[in-house]
Amino acid sequence: MFYRGYGDGPDGRETGPKRQRMSAQGPPGPFYGPHPGSAFMYNPYGFVPPPVFPVVKLRGLPFDCAERDVLDFFGGLDVVDVLFVHKNGKVTGEAFCVLGYPLQVDFALGKNRQNMGRRYVEVFRSTKQEYYKAIANEVAESRVHGTVTGGGGGGSGGRGGVSGGRSPRRQVQRVRPSDDGKENAEHTGIMRLRGLPFSAGKEDILDFFRDFDISEDSVHVTVNGEGRPTGDAFVEFRSAEESRAAMVKDRKTLGSRYIELFPSSVEELEEALSRGR
């Protein structure tokens, strides 16, 4: 989502995939810069505070929850980011969800205690500070435990867990197949990129893979139902072997952001493209 002219103060808003915003310097471009002057915006009637950062916190997610489940749970809302929370390398059943507009927070809160699968999910109002703190914790978790922050929720107190100890179902981290064991995943020649700057185009991706022989027609930048970039893209390589070799670019930077790569499939590519039609 593009947010023009919002401040970077305590109540300001920023955009872009989660972990890249931990950089000390924000990404360049008119959509990411701080509002000039005061953190308050001026209108003919005086100064008014900028909109509240639109984020909610979820608790009680199923142990095998994935981003797709959260998107379906908040069907009809513009979900910008989903950040699953881990502790000691284990899923916690908590997540943060950043929405497209402040007004959508109230709609998201209306989903409080509604079911996701067999479990009801609690939805709370959250803050930019709490969300950013969670990002920092997830970065630290991934370094210590190798946690994959892109998927996997977890059971939470009293709903399917073992009182006073860990549920056996939570001993093994459950994530989406595309996120689990990248090095052993089957390559089909199609790669999914996650974490792109919203301003990135095909030329930027071609430059990112400049050591590989790919054409502009083989690059697909995905958009949402409103035609806005999602931060994801797909690249079709000439062969599965070349796709596997391209994994050396996993977590390399494009501009000021690092890009995550995942082996993908024709079905996932077609599904992603159909959402933007």
Contact 188, 264 (CB under 8 A): yes
Between 206 and 160, the higher pLDDT residue: 206
Q: Which residue has the tokens 């008014």?
A: 48
Quick check: do 55-143 and 190-275 share a fold?
Answer: yes
**How do residues 61-91 score in pLDDT, each as one tens digit?**
998 888 889 999 999 898 988 999 988 888 8
**How do residues 12-24 score in pLDDT, each as one tens digit?**
444 444 444 444 4
Contact 119, 46 (CB under 8 A): no
Alpha helices (H) along the chain: 67-73, 104-109, 128-145, 202-208, 240-245, 266-275
Residue 141 has pLDDT above 80, yes or no: no
Average of per-residue pLDDT values in the chain: 75
Look at domain 55-143 and name its CATH class. Answer: alpha beta
Is 3.50.50.60 the CATH number for 190-275?
no
- Mean pLDDT in residue range 170-184: 42
CB atoms within 10 A of CB 201: 14
Supply the DSSP symbol for 168. G
Q: How far is CA 17 from the centre of its chain?
A: 5
Tell me what pLDDT residue 44 has: 61
Q: Which is nearest to 211 in space by CA: 183, 257, 247?
A: 247
Contact 18, 81 (CB under 8 A): yes
Q: Which residue has the tokens 């009809």?
A: 76
Domain ranges of the chain: 55-143, 190-275
Between 181 and 219, the higher pLDDT residue: 219
Q: What percent of the chain has pLDDT over 90?
A: 38
SS3 (DSSP) at 267? helix
**How do residues 193-238 score in pLDDT, each as one tens digit?**
998 888 899 999 999 999 999 999 999 999 988 888 888 999 999 9
pLDDT band at 181 (very low <50, low <70, confident <90, very high): low
